[in-house]
Structures are given as structure tokens and as C-alpha cells.
């Protein structure tokens, strides 16, 4: 029998389920903004992200600096990160060379990206889906040898800018191949912001059914067509407990000039906390961080809660 105090704690925890928000503005956000920000501004943003309570964030990517000049200083960003036991800094990589560079830079976790469509894969990852899957066992071995956690991402999992519809069977087939050398986490990414909540439920249910139970699922949404918040709710309602966001909604979409970016994290914090979830994030501090990055970019940003503020407090 639990003590009364433990029972009360249990009820409290059950009433406020935990939801992990992974902050991707220093990587996905800034990577897709035309303005370059300095390493110092990136580190200052990361400091604010940690102060707001986030404990996992994408700090940079190890890709071709000629193709993605916004991430060229990722080694310097990783070198400048605070040493904290309670935070995990993620590096993105698309190939074995990128993984080696991320490990050398001191990344503790790697997000390894696959594409669900061949044309996008050739343009983004430098090879077809089959070619990139062929090196996956080596990538996992490299990460394990270095003691680095590895997560896999399937980008364009809801639609491709070149090939259009991506069948669910295709996503499941790629997830099955990934599962043969299981990462600790698998993310489905709506890279171009085309998903609807129904697609989210269908794809996560199909992938969840074939993944080993120890592989946690994560969702990554872009708000290109204003469906990202609805998609995040759909993902959480079908059991996904880890959602990506980018403060202020920065990020844009490389295939839709002028489009909104990633789902704004502070909007996720507001909504899910009001729905009774415990995100561990302080909304006011998240809004302050969102405003900081908006000012650094020198332009209005798409996030809405950073403009409106949180729930009004009663007048004293």
C-alpha cells in the first residue's frame, strides 16, 4: 500500500503526464533562415533555451558548409556549449563523414537523417534511399564505438516537394530497415509542412506497430500550411511523447519561400500545459528566448504566443 503522500504524488503525476519538447531553433530554425547569426548569438540563444527548462536541443549540424553556410560554425558552437550533466546537445548528420565530425566536436547525441523519397534523398543526402540505408549499420557502429547515442529521422515522411505523395508503406519499409540496427529513437518529420492530423495518426500507428518497444517515437512538424499545432496534438494523442519545436517559429521552408517555419515551441508549451501536460518548460522564459532570436534575426517571427503572452493573471 502506498503512503498517503506517495499516493497523492502518484495522482499528481498521472494527472500531469510528461511531454518532452526538443528545441531545434539553433539547428533547423537558423539553418533555414537567410540571415547568418554569429556563434556568440547562437550560444546566447542556447543559454536562454536551457534557462527556460529545455533539456534536449539540436545545437548544430555537420553537413556540407558550402550548402548550408548557416551551420558552418557548428564545431565552434559545440566547443562553446556549457558542460552540463542535465542537458543533451544533439548534432545532425547525413552521412558517415558528418557523424565522424559530430563525434570529434563532442556531440553526445546524433540525429541521423533519412529521406522517404528518392529525389529528395539524392539532393539532400547525396544518395538514394537504398544507398543511404546501406551505410546505416556502419553509422550505428561508429556512434556506438564512440559512446554516442544515435537517433534516426525519416524526413519527407508525409510528402515530398519533388515526388508529391509518399505512401505509408514506403515509410514503414524504411522504418523496418532502420529498426534492424535499432536507434534509441525514431522521428517522423514533416519536412515541408503538408501533414494533416489524420496522416499523423495513420503514420505513427503504422510505424509504432513495427518498431521494437524500446525505440521511442518523436514527431517533427513544420507549420508551412498552419497544421502543425493540430498535428502535434494528434501525435501526442496517439502516444508520441516527444515533440520538436523551434522558438518563435523560425525556420521557414526551403521549398516554399516566405512560408512559416517549424512549429513555434512557445505555442506548444502554452497549449500542452493548458491541456494538463508537464513540459518542464517555463513559458515566460521560452517567450523571452523567442523574442531574443526574433530580434537577432531582425524581423517579425511567426510564433503567436510570443506576441500575445501567456494566460492572463487575475488582477490583484
Q: Give 20 or 28: the residue with its C-beta nearer to Zn ion.
A: 28
Pairing of strands 216-221, 185-190: parallel
- Would you report the helix, strand and coil content of the chain in percent, each value rounded to 5? 45, 15, 35
Q: Is 199 in the site for Zn ion (CB under 5 A)?
A: no
Return the closest-CA partner of residue 61 out of 153, 190, 194, 184.
Answer: 153
CB of 253 to Zn ion, least distance (A): 8
Residues 6+ positions from 8 with CB-CB distance below 8 Å: none
Q: Give 54 or 142: the residue with its C-beta nearer to Zn ion.
A: 54
CB of 222 to Zn ion, least distance (A): 6
Of 115, 160, 238, 253, the active-site residue reads 253
Nearest residue to Zn ion, using CB?
A: 28
Q: Give 142 or 221: the residue with its C-beta nearer to Zn ion.
A: 221
Residues 126-155 that bind Zn ion (CB under 5 A): none
Measured between alpha carbons, how far is 96 from 261 in angstroms, rounded to an integer? 28
CB of 74 to Zn ion, least distance (A): 16
Measured between alpha carbons, how far is 32 from 114 in angstroms, rounded to an integer? 18
Measured between alpha carbons, how far is 132 from 117 in angstroms, rounded to an integer? 12
Residues 9-38 that bind Zn ion (CB under 5 A): 28
Residues 260-299 that bind Zn ion (CB under 5 A): none
CB of 316 to Zn ion, least distance (A): 42
Q: List Cα–Cα distances, 88 to 50, 58, 84, 242, in angstroms.
A: 10, 9, 8, 14
Among the residues of 81-189, which ranges form H helices? 96-104, 118-125, 129-134, 136-145, 168-179
* 253 noted as active-site residue: yes
| Total chain residues near Zn ion (CB under 5 A) | 1
Task: For residue 152, count CB atoms less than 10 angstroms from its CB and return exposed for 0-12, middle for 13-18, buried for 19 or more.
Answer: buried
Residues 28-87 that bind Zn ion (CB under 5 A): 28
Q: Give 81 or 219: the residue with its C-beta nearer to Zn ion.
A: 219
Q: Give 56 or 285: the residue with its C-beta nearer to Zn ion.
A: 56
CB of 29 to Zn ion, least distance (A): 9
Return the closest-CA partner of residue 117 out of 152, 159, 177, 151.
Answer: 159
The catalytic site residues sit at 253
Q: Which residues would be at the binding site for Zn ion (CB under 5 A)?
A: 28
Amino acid at each position: 500500500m502506498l503512503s498517503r503522500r506517495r499516493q497523492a504524488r502518484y495522482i499528481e503525476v498521472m494527472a500531469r503526464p510528461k511531454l518532452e519538447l526538443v528545441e531545434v531553433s539553433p539547428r533547423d530554425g537558423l539553418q533555414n533562415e537567410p540571415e547568418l547569426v554569429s556563434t556568440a548569438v547562437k550560444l546566447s540563444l542556447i543559454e536562454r533555451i536551457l534557462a527556460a527548462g529545455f533539456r534536449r536541443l539540436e545545437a548544430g549540424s555537420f553537413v556540407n558548409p558550402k550548402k548550408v553556410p548557416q551551420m558552418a560554425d557548428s564545431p565552434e558552437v559545440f566547443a562553446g556549449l556549457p558542460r552540463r550533466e542535465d542537458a543533451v546537445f544533439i548534432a545532425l548528420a547525413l552521412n558517415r563523414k558528418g557523424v565522424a565530425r559530430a563525434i570529434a566536436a563532442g556531440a553526445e547525441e546524433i540525429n541521423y537523417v533519412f529521406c522517404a523519397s528518392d529525389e529528395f534523398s539524392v539532393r539532400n543526402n547525396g544518395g538514394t534511399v537504398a544507398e543511404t540505408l546501406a551505410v546505416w549499420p556502419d553509422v550505428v557502429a561508429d556512434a556506438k564505438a564512440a559512446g554516442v547515442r544515435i537517433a534516426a529521422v525519416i524526413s519527407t515522411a508525409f510528402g515530398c516537394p519533388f515526388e508529391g505523395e509518399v505512401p505509408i508503406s514506403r515509410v514503414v519499409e524504411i522504418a523496418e530497415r532502420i529498426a534492424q540496427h535499432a536507434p534509441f529513437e525514431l522521428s517522423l518529420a514533416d519536412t515541408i509542412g503538408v501533414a494533416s492530423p489524420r496522416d499523423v495518426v495513420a503514420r505513427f500507428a503504422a510505424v509504432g506497430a513495427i518498431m521494437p518497444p524500446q525505440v521511442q517515437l518523436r514527431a517533427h512538424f513544420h507549420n508551412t500550411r498552419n497544421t502543425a499545432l493540430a498535428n502535434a496534438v494528434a501525435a501526442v494523442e496517439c502516444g508520441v511523447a516527444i515533440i520538436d519545436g523551434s522558438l518563435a517559429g523560425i525556420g521557414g521552408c526551403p521549398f516554399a519561400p516566405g512560408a512559416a517555419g517549424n512549429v513555434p515551441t512557445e505555442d506548444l508549451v502554452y497549449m500542452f500545459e493548458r491541456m494538463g501536460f508537464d513540459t518542464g518548460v517555463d513559458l515566460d522564459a521560452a517567450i523571452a528566448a523567442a523574442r531574443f532570436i526574433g530580434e537577432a534575426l531582425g524581423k517579425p517571427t511567426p510564433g503567436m504566443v510570443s506576441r500575445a503572452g501567456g494566460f492572463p493573471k487575475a488582477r490583484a
